[in-house]
Amino acid sequence: MTYCVGMVVDRGLVLMSDTRTNSGVDNISVFRKMFHWSVPGERIVTLMTAGNLATTQAVISVLEERTKAPRDRNHSLLEVPTMFQAAVETGKVLREIVRETQFENGEEGRGRFTASIILAGQIKGMEPRLFLIYPEGNFIEASWDTPFFQIGETKYGRPILIRGYDRQLSFEDAVKLLMVSFDSTLKANLSVGLPLDVMVIERDSFAPTHERRIETNDPYFESVSSGWSEALRSAFHSLPDYSFYQGDERPA
């Protein structure tokens, strides 16, 4: 499994991904799921992937090759004119690889080898943008109504994102919020695991403003994880108490 979140805030983009891949519970490995390409001062394009690892690695390889091979230059993420076109190109590559692998595996391949991608970035003169790309190659874009996307194991970490998100979050608070969301997910699903990759991209900087790998035993992540249990307990006690008797009711 996987857990990745991409988020737009007023100040820019914040991304976090785990690094665990598994085939069953007895075969786990660490693989990077966050990738980026940039032209300093002009653009940065970041991808996070969830789903079949062979598929996502193939997608990344094709996109990477295009940035180098002159022939496909105009489809390269370093050359497309808009983030929308970057999503179109990425979607096409993803769909083709999924379809091809399914086709080659005949009846057995149906519905397998799929993957999803979060694409985020900014090109000079335009706004930072965030997309969620489906295995079918089509995609949706984040808006202020839905300013973040999750892929992989999305449910455990969603309630805190819904409650805690605010477009005016500082980058530091946005990273903290994502860490709480990841911690809830890690606690509930073994197939999501440390280390985590974090990237912060400030609006109009066209480069990672902050990039870090959060390793196992990272002291800050541990302080969030243990502090959150305590903080939730206080939050819980701050809520009004439930009573068996309400309004006019009285104990018998």
Is residue 86 within 8 Å of residue 80, measured between CB atoms? yes
**Between residues 27 and 238, which has the closer beta carbon with respect to a copy of itself?**
238
Q: Decide: 35 and 62 in contact? Cβ < 8 Å.
A: no
- Contact between 173 and a copy of itself per CB under 8 A: yes
231 binds a copy of itself (CB under 8 A): yes
Residue 140 in contact with a copy of itself, rule: CB under 8 A: no
Q: Which is nearer to a copy of itself, 92 or 187 (CB)?
A: 187
Instruction: Check residue 69 for interaction with a copy of itself (CB under 8 A).
Output: no
Phi, psi at residue 240, to the nearest 5°?
-60, 145
Q: Does residue 232 bind a copy of itself (CB under 8 A)? A: yes
Q: Extract the tokens encoding 33.
A: 């799921």
User: Could you count the other beta carbons within 10 Å of the beta carbon of residue 44?
Assistant: 23
- Piece of the chain touching a copy of itself by CB under 8 A; list 2-10, 73-81, 92-100, 150-158: 150-158
Distance in Å, CB of 162 to a copy of itself, minimum: 6
Amino acid (1-letter code) at residue 244: F
E strand residue ranges, the chain: 3-9, 12-17, 20-22, 28-30, 34-39, 43-51, 115-123, 129-133, 139-141, 148-152, 196-202, 210-214
Who contacts 73 (Cβ-Cβ below 8 Å, separation ≥6)? 66, 79
Q: What is the DSSP letter of 151?
A: E
Tell me the pairing of strands 115-123 and 43-51: antiparallel
224 near a copy of itself, judged by CB under 8 A: yes
Per CB under 8 A, 163 contacts a copy of itself: yes
Is 114:152 a contact under the CB 8 Å cutoff? no
Indicate the residue among 104 and 241 with the shorter CB distance to a copy of itself: 241
Select from 3-11, 57-65, 133-141, 184-192 the region that touches a copy of itself (CB under 8 A).
Answer: 184-192
Q: What minimum distance in Å lies between the beta carbon of 82 and a copy of itself?
A: 29
Number of residues near a copy of itself (by CB under 8 A): 43
- Give the residues lining the site for a copy of itself (CB under 8 A): 155-160, 162-164, 171-173, 175-177, 179-180, 184, 187-188, 200, 209-210, 220, 223-224, 227-229, 231-236, 238-244, 246
